[in-house]
Amino acid sequence: MSIEDASGQGVTITQTGERGAFGGELLTVNFGPHHPSTHGVLRLIVDLDGEQVKRVKPVIGYLHTGIEKQMEALRWQQGVVCTDRHDYLSPPINNLAYALAVERLMGVEVPPRAQALRVIMCELTRLSSHLVWLGTSGIELGAMSVLMYCFRERDTIMDMNEEISGFRMHTSYIRPGGVMADATPRFFDMLAKFVREMPRHIDEYEDLLTMNPIWRSRTIGIGRLAPEVAKVVGASGPMIRGSGIAWDLRKVMPYSGYENYDFEVATNDGCDCYARYLVRIQEMREAVKILGQALDRLPDGPVNVDDRKMLPPPREELETSMEAVIHHFKLFTEGYSVPPGDVYVAVESGRGENGCYIVSDGTHKPRRVKFRSASFVNLQALERMALNHMIADLVAIIGTADTVLGDVDR
Amino acid sequence: MGLEDLVDSLGQNVLTTTVGKVIGWGRGNSVWPAQFGLACCAIEMISTATAGVDIARFGSEAMRASPRQADLMIVSGRVSQKMAPILRTIYDQMPEPKWVISMGACASTGGVFNNYALLQGVDKVVPVDVYIPGCPPRPEDLLNALMILQERIKAQGIVTR
């Protein structure tokens, strides 16, 4: 029997009349794309034997935005705004992957203060991303109040984003050649206060969940991902660290000065949803540690490369220097050109390896931009994790994969 | 007359109004949004529902997972060509009277993504009552849109559209 699916999207579900373990026919259930627990618009076609999940087929593309194609139509410096919007929970980390790729092709190195500011923004983002994950996962498993606590701290981070860049979510703060502007003194005050208070707030989340019997019974032993399977599917981030493999790009391939910070790679051998929860909690603590260190030894100096061909001259030079006006004009009409070549740069986002592959043909626009998004790859582990679990546990398993559909579909 | 007597006598009072005004007042103060997140704006929508700005002050904290129980659809984010028919289905499943808020630049106009993949404005598939600019708009912007919508609903009275 063949059923055309309700959305008319041309995906055909074929029921083969296959029998389950107890002789009943397998039931095909459509899960999403409009479902409150799919973290956006993920659609799963689930084959059920009674309540047991026998097959999971993700159908993606409901949030396909054409970001990669769009970036081919934008100049190098304009592409940054698109990187903000694909993984919309970690904009500065996406910015960083793109900026590092462009900088590597151009052969420039940003000053130490810019690197430190980048690290600060990335770690703040990792925290806010994990907070959204924790809050929404809590809601999905019935812990309604966790969201309120998580979003309280997320709003503090958003306020800091606003202070440093003028915008709450899509900051576009990290750009090829440095950062948008130096941070204000008020930002550092806010950050110092945040670093002081955040460990206590993480304790609060742990008080709510770590020993909570309902949370434990909904996550322990659920969604087992064996280390070898995690490697085979190419999982990264908390997904692979929750399976006991200490793979963190900040440690193994340091970028933007991460080698100068003292932090631990959070791992857990549990391989289940609970282990991944513990890994994320631990990562939040480590992120606060990195923030504290970055704040303590923030170097002085410029926050941008001193290259008039890449970044506009300071405002005051425009009044006095004809050359500055020419540079300014060229940058804002044509943009800068990047030498021909291709490069792949990967950074560690809250979800895992967030890579950016760019091809330049030497003009002022990219020839091709490709993102290796952690969400997309981590989604491949979904079926293996969900196999033979109850359909209700599928919600916990989708939550633990922490997919952002904007990142999956781009 | 003491305070207690005053309170007692209030129960005896008769206020005159129209049925339309009462219905408008009731509808306007209990707009239940469909829990329907699409992209970045959905995160700010969640933010609006949390303690910081607290949409519950305006009677809209009951985000319904089923469109059958919802009055308001907040299109929070970019609508791809693939998602458009599903969005329309959800809209059709909502009972009358219903309203739509188009949240953010992408939902309203396509935003920066003027390309093959995105619907250039959700008003091509569903009628929109309030547009919110911003990418994404602040939670306060969403509250403001809700208040504009509430005023409109209250003025609308008994008339359905």
Pair (A285, A248) in one structural domain: yes
Residue A87's nearest CA partner among A116, A125, A60 is A125
Pair (A23, A166) in one structural domain: no
Pair (A43, A158) in one structural domain: no
Pair (A248, A213) in one structural domain: yes
Phi–psi pair at A235, nearest 5 degrees:
-65, 155
Pair (A89, A161) in one structural domain: yes
Asked whether residue A6 carries a pLDDT value surpassing 50, the answer given is: no
Checking phi first, is residue A398 left (phi over 0); if not, alpha (psi -120 to 50) or beta?
Answer: alpha
Q: Which residues on B lie below 8 Å from A65 (Cβ)?
A: 39, 78, 80, 113, 115, 117-118
In a domain, A313, yes or no: no
**Two tokens, residue A172:** 């576009």
Q: Which residues on B lie below 8 Å from A136 (Cβ)?
A: 46
In a domain, A379, yes or no: yes
Cβ within 8 Å, pair A132-B43: yes
- Band (pLDDT 50/70/90 cuts) for residue A9 is very low
Determine the pLDDT at residue B38.
Answer: 85
Please state the domain count of chain A.
2
Calculate how close chain B gets to A66, using CA atoms only, in Å. 6
SS3 A47: strand
pLDDT, chain B, mean: 87
Determine the pLDDT at residue A86.
Answer: 86
The amino acid sitting at A348 is E
Residue A241's nearest CA partner among A86, A88, A135, A353 is A353
Cβ within 8 Å, pair A147-B50: yes
Rounded to the nearest angstrom, the gap between the alpha carbon of residue A335 and the centroid of all alpha carbons in its chain is 28
pLDDT tens-digit readout, A105-128: 988 989 999 999 999 999 999 999
pLDDT, chain A, mean: 87
In a domain, A19, yes or no: yes
Q: Choose from B47, B61, B73, B82 for mutation: most chain A CBs within 10 A.
A: B82
Which residue reads 């935005």 in tokens? A65
- Band (pLDDT 50/70/90 cuts) for residue A2 is very low
Determine the pLDDT at residue B1.
Answer: 60
Asked whether residue B111 carries a pLDDT value surpassing 90, the answer given is: no
Cβ within 8 Å, pair A151-B83: no
Asked whether residue A45 carries a pLDDT value surpassing 90, the answer given is: no
Across B120-128, average pLDDT: 91
In a domain, A333, yes or no: no
- Band (pLDDT 50/70/90 cuts) for residue A1 is very low
Pair (A44, A83) in one structural domain: no
CATH number at residue B41: 3.40.50.12280
Pair (A186, A222) in one structural domain: yes
ipTM of the complex: 0.84
Select from B52, B78, B135 the Cβ nearest to the Cβ of A63: B78
In a domain, B20, yes or no: no
Select from B36, B112, B138 the Cβ nearest to the Cβ of A168: B138
How does DSSP classify residue A306?
-
Asked whether residue A404 carries a pLDDT value surpassing 90, the answer given is: no
The rounded distance, in Å, linking the Cα atoms of A263 and A69 is: 37
Q: Domain range for residue B146?
A: 31-156
Q: What share of chain A in percent tops pLDDT 90?
A: 31
- Chain A residue with CA closest to B67: the answer is A34
In a domain, B63, yes or no: yes
Select from A9, A36, A82 the Cβ nearest to the Cβ of B35: A36
The rounded distance, in Å, linking the Cα atoms of A36 and A176 is: 37
- Chain A residue with CA closest to B88: the answer is A7
Pair (A44, A126) in one structural domain: no
Question: How many distinct helices (H) and strands (E) make up chain B?
Answer: 6, 4
In a domain, B134, yes or no: yes
Give whole-number Cα distances, A173 to A1, A354, B75, in Å.
53, 17, 27
Select from B38, B44, B50 the Cβ nearest to the Cβ of A63: B38
Across A6-11, average pLDDT: 44
Q: What share of chain A in percent tops pLDDT 70?
A: 95
Cβ within 8 Å, pair A9-B85: yes
Asked whether residue A38 carries a pLDDT value surpassing 90, the answer given is: no
Q: Which helix (H) or strand (E) holds A359?
A: strand A353-360
The amino acid sitting at A248 is D
Determine the pLDDT at residue A16.
Answer: 61
Please state the domain count of chain B.
1
- Chain A residue with CA closest to B138: the answer is A168
A142 versus B132: which is more confidently predicted? B132
CATH number at residue A102: 1.10.645.10
Across B144-159, average pLDDT: 86
pLDDT tens-digit readout, A218-247: 898 888 888 999 899 989 989 999 898 988
Calculate how close chain A gets to B104, using CA atoms only, in Å. 13
Calculate how close chain A gets to B132, using CA atoms only, in Å. 16
Q: Choose from B80, B93, B106, B116 for mutation: most chain A CBs within 10 A.
A: B80
Select from B40, B42, B86 the Cβ nearest to the Cβ of A85: B40
In a domain, B21, yes or no: no
In a domain, A37, yes or no: yes
Q: Which residues on A lie below 8 Å from B89 (Cβ)?
A: 6-7
Pick from A59, A85, A101: which residue ends a domain?
A59
Asked whether residue A377 carries a pLDDT value surpassing 70, the answer given is: yes
In a domain, B137, yes or no: yes
Pair (A13, A96) in one structural domain: no
pLDDT tens-digit readout, A318-346: 888 898 899 889 888 888 889 999 999 99
Terminus-to-terminus CA distance in chain B, angstroms? 48
Asked whether residue A12 carries a pLDDT value surpassing 60, the answer given is: no
In a domain, B10, yes or no: no
Cβ within 8 Å, pair B38-A152: no
Across B101-110, average pLDDT: 90
Across A264-282, average pLDDT: 90
Calculate how close chain A gets to B146, using CA atoms only, in Å. 20
SS3 A143: coil
CB A368 within 8 A of CB A358: yes
- Band (pLDDT 50/70/90 cuts) for residue B18 is confident
pTM: 0.89
Pair (A133, A209) in one structural domain: yes
Q: Which residues on B lie below 8 Å from A168 (Cβ)?
A: 44, 136, 138
Q: Choose from B50, B73, B119, B140 for mutation: most chain A CBs within 10 A.
A: B50
Determine the pLDDT at residue A122.
Answer: 92
Asked whether residue B115 carries a pLDDT value surpassing 60, the answer given is: yes
In a domain, A95, yes or no: yes
Q: Choose from B38, B63, B122 for mutation: most chain A CBs within 10 A.
A: B38
In a domain, B94, yes or no: yes
In a domain, B56, yes or no: yes
Calculate how close chain A gets to B94, using CA atoms only, in Å. 13
Q: What share of chain B in percent tops pLDDT 70?
A: 98
Q: Of the ranges A15-29, A150-164, A166-180, A210-224, which one carries the lowest mean pLDDT score?
A: A15-29
Give whole-number Cα distances, A50 to A28, A43, A219, A372, B38, in Å.
11, 20, 21, 37, 31
- Chain B residue with CA closest to A60: the answer is B82
In a domain, A330, yes or no: no
Pair (A103, A50) in one structural domain: no
Pair (A130, A41) in one structural domain: no
Q: Domain range for residue A9?
A: 2-59
Q: Choose from B112, B115, B141 for mutation: most chain A CBs within 10 A.
A: B112
